[in-house]
C-alpha cells in the first residue's frame, strides 16, 4: 500500500504534490531549497534588524470550501495543529465540506474628534459635507478608485458627550488596506481641521473589521464521528455540549477560540498577512454582546452535526508583506487561491476545521493522546537527539509510561548504548 502524505519524507511530499499537479516544478524547487528570508530582505522589513527567525511551514490537506478542494499552507511552531486541521477537513468532507460567504469587504477607519464643544453642530456640518469628504478620501489614494474600490460611506458615532468618531468605510479591493485607509483618513482629518476647526485627536483604521465578516458552515453526518467507546451520535452531542459551554464561560471560550486561531493564524502567516490585526479583531468580535464567547457554535440536527463560525477577516491578497516574504506567492499558487475574498473563506474554513478536530479530541480521547504523540518529536529534539536518533527515540517514547524530558533523556542514553 502506498504511504500516506504524512508518512513521506519532506522531499517526497514535495514530489507527491508535483506528481498530483498541485505544485509546479519551479515552486517545488523553491520549497525544497528555501531556508527563509535573506538578511538583506529582513533588514528592509524591520528596524534595528539583527537576524531572521524561521518557523516551520506544513500543509493542511483536502480542505473543501464551496465545492473546491484546497491544500492550505500553515506556518506554526506548535506540533499537532496541522494534523488536526487536516483531520477536521477530512471530517467536514464527509458532509461535502464547508460553505463560506462574506456579504461585504469594507475596511473601516476612524477620525477621532475629542473634546468637541458642540457635538450636534459639528455633526450637522460634517454630514452636510459627506460627498466632498468622500471625494477628498478618494483623491488621497486615486489608484484604489481606478481599480473599482474607494471610499463608500462616512458615519458619525458619538462616543461621549464631547467625543465623536468619524468612521470612513472603504472598499480596499485586494489589499488588507491599512496603509491606504490611513492615508485617506489623514487627508479627510486635515480637511475637518482646516475647514471646520474640528479638534482632531487621531486618524487610523479600526481592526474591529465588522464590515469584513466571513461566515463558514459545515454539516457533518454524525455516523462519521464515532470514536473509541463513543458512537457518532454521542460524539456529536458531546461536541454540541462543549460548544454550549464555550457560549457560557469565558474561561472555556478563550481556549475554544485559541483552537480556532491555531488554524487562522497559521494561514494568515503563510499568506503574509498581519496576524495581530486578525487576532485583535477576532477577540473583540467574540465579546460583541458584552461577554466573551466561543466564536463558533455546533448543534445536532437529526443525524447531522452543524457548525458555524463568523469572523472579521480583513486579509489582503496583495500589498503589505505579501511580496516581501518570499514564500507567500508560492503559497498562494500551491493553495490555488486567487483573491482576498477566496482567502477569507479558506482561512475561516480552516479555523472551523481546527475547532472541530480539537472539540472531537477533547470530548473523546482527550487532547493529550494525539498531542503528546506528536509532542514526542519536540521532546526528542529538546533532549538532544540527533536527526537519525529522533525516529527510534519517538518509537521508544510510545511505550514509555511517562512522557517527560527526564524519561526522554534516559531513553536517549539507552538508545545510544545499543548503537
Ligand atoms: P500597502 O501599503 O502595501 O498597499 C497596498 C498595495 O497594493 C498598494 O501599493 C496598491 O497599489 C497595491 N495593489 C495592487 N493591486 C491591488 C488591488 N487589486 N487592490 C488593492 N491594492 C492593490 O498595504 P495595505 O494598505 O494593504 O496595508 C497593509 C499593511 O499595513 C500591513 O503590512 C499591515 O501590517 C500594516 N499596518 C497595519 C495597521 C493595523 O492593522 N492597525 C496599521 C498600519 C499599518 P497602489 O498604490 O497603486 O494602489
Q: pLDDT tens, position by position, for the chain (419 residues)?
A: 689 999 999 999 999 999 999 999 999 999 999 988 999 999 999 999 999 999 999 999 999 999 999 999 999 999 999 999 999 999 999 999 999 999 999 999 999 999 999 999 999 999 999 999 999 999 999 999 999 999 999 999 999 999 999 999 999 999 999 999 999 999 999 999 999 999 999 999 999 999 999 999 999 999 999 999 999 999 999 999 999 999 999 999 999 999 999 999 999 999 999 999 999 999 999 999 999 999 999 999 999 999 999 999 999 999 999 999 999 999 999 999 999 999 999 999 999 999 999 999 999 988 777 677 777 888 999 999 999 999 899 999 988 888 889 999 999 999 999 88
pLDDT score for 401: 85
Query: In 172-303, at which residue ranges do the beta strands (DSSP E only) sit?
Result: 200-205, 213-221, 296-301
SS3 annotation, 355-407: HHHHHHHHHCCCHHHHHHHHHHHHHHHHCCCCHHHHHHHHHHHHCCCCCCHHH
Q: Whose CA is nearest to atom 24 of ligand 1?
A: 177
- Which mutation among 179, 269, 325 tests ligand 1's pocket best, with the greatest number of atoms within 8 A of CB? 179
What is d(CA 269, CA 256) in angstroms, rounded to the nearest whole number? 20
Q: In what order do the strands lie in the sheet with 107-113?
A: 150-160, 163-171, 107-113, 200-205
pLDDT score for 1: 60
pLDDT score for 403: 85
The topology under which CATH files domain 34-102+214-365 is 3.90.770
The answer, yes or no, to whether any atom of ligand 1 lies below 6 A from the CB of 109, is no
pLDDT score for 30: 97
The answer, yes or no, to whether any atom of ligand 1 lies below 6 A from the CB of 207, is yes
Q: Which residue ranges does the chain devote to CATH 3.90.770.10?
A: 34-102+214-365
| Structure letter (DSSP) for residue 324 | T
Q: Among all residues, which ones are annotated catalytic?
A: 78, 258, 274, 371
The answer, yes or no, to whether any atom of ligand 1 lies below 6 A from the CB of 175, is yes
Q: Which residue ranges does the chain devote to CATH 3.30.70.420?
A: 107-205
User: Alpha-carbon dihedral of residues 242, 246, 251, 257, nearest 10 degrees?
Assistant: 100
The topology under which CATH files domain 371-417 is Helicase, Ruva Protein; domain 3 (1.10.8)
How many CB atoms are closer than 10 A to CB 127? 12
pLDDT score for 365: 86
What is the per-residue pLDDT across 159-171, written as a single tens digit (0 to 9) for each?
Answer: 999 999 999 999 9
What class is the 107-205 domain?
alpha beta
Q: For the purposes of burial, counting CB atoms within 10 Å of the CB of 212, is it exposed (0-12), middle (13-18) or buried (19 or more)?
A: buried
Q: Whose CA is nearest to atom 48 of ligand 1?
A: 143
Q: Give the pTM.
A: 0.93
CB 349 within 8 Å of CB 301: no
Q: Whose CA is nearest to atom 47 of ligand 1?
A: 143
Q: In what order do the strands lie in the sheet with 68-75?
A: 68-75, 57-65, 98-101, 213-221, 304-312, 296-301
- Cross-strand bridge partners of residue 218: 98, 307
C-alpha count within 13 angstroms, C-beta hemisphere, residue 330: 20
The answer, yes or no, to whether any atom of ligand 1 lies below 6 A from the CB of 320, is yes
CB 372 within 8 Å of CB 234: no
pLDDT score for 190: 98
pLDDT score for 331: 98
Max Cα separation, the chain? 85
First to last CA, the chain: 31
Q: Which residue ranges does the chain devote to CATH 1.10.8.660?
A: 371-417
Amino acid at each position: 500500500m502506498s504511504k500516506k502524505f504524512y508518512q513521506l519524507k519532506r522531499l517526497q511530499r514535495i514530489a507527491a504534490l508535483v506528481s498530483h499537479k498541485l505544485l509546479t516544478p519551479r515552486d517545488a524547487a523553491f520549497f525544497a531549497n528555501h531556508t527563509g528570508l535573506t538578511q538583506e530582505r529582513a533588514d528592509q522589513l524591520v528596524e534595528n534588524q539583527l537576524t531572521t527567525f524561521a518557523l516551520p511551514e506544513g500543509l493542511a490537506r483536502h480542505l473543501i470550501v464551496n465545492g473546491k478542494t484546497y491544500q492550505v499552507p500553515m506556518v506554526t511552531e506548535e506540533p499537532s495543529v496541522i494534523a488536526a486541521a487536516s483531520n477536521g477537513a477530512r471530517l467536514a468532507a464527509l458532509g461535502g465540506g464547508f460553505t463560506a460567504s462574506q456579504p461585504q469587504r469594507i475596511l473601516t477607519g476612524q477620525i477621532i474628534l475629542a473634546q468637541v464643544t458642540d457635538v450636534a453642530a459639528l455633526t450637522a456640518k460634517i454630514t452636510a459635507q459627506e460627498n466632498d469628504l468622500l471625494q477628498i478620501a478618494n483623491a488621497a489614494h486615486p489608484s484604489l478608485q481606478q481599480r473599482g474600490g474607494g471610499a463608500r460611506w462616512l458615519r458619525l458615532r458619538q462616543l461621549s458627550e464631547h467625543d465623536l468618531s468619524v468612521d470612513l468605510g472603504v472598499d480596499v479591493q485586494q489589499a488588507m488596506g491599512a496603509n491606504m485607509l490611513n492615508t485617506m483618513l489623514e487627508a479627510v482629518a486635515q480637511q475637518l481641521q482646516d475647514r471646520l476647526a474640528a479638534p482632531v485627536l487621531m486618524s487610523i483604521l479600526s481592526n474591529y473589521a465588522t464590515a469584513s465578516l466571513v461566515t463558514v458552515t459545515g454539516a457533518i453526518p454524525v455516523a462519521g464521528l464515532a470514536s473509541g467507546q463513543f458512537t457518532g451520535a454521542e460524539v456529536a452531542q458531546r461536541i454540541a455540549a462543549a460548544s454550549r459551554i464555550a457560549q457560557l464561560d469565558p474561561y472555556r471560550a478563550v481556549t475554544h477560540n485559541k483552537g480556532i486561531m491555531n488554524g487562522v493564524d497559521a494561514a494568515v502567516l503563510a499568506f503574509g498577512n498581519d496576524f495581530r490585526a486578525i487576532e485583535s479583531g477576532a477577540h473583540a468580535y467574540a465579546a460583541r454582546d458584552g461577554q466573551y464567547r466561543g466564536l463558533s457554535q455546533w448543534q445536532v440536527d437529526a443525524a447531522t452535526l452543524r457548525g458555524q463560525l463568523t469572523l472579521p477577516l480583513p486579509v489582503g491578497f496583495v500589498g503589505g508583506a505579501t511580496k516581501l516574504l518570499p514564500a507567500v506567492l508560492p503559497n498562494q499558487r500551491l493553495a490555488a487561491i486567487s483573491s482576498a475574498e477566496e482567502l477569507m473563506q479558506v482561512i475561516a474554513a480552516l479555523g472551523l476545521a481546527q475547532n472541530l478536530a480539537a472539540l472531537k479530541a477533547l470530548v473523546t480521547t482527550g487532547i493529550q493522546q494525539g498531542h503528546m504523540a506528536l509532542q514526542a518529536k519536540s521532546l526528542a529534539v529538546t533532549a538532544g537527539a540527533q536527526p537519525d536518533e529522533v525516529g527510534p527515540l519517538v518509537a521508544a517514547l510510545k511505550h514509555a509510561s511517562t512522557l517527560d524530558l527526564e524519561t526522554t533523556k534516559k531513553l536517549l542514553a539507552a538508545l545510544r548504548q545499543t548503537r
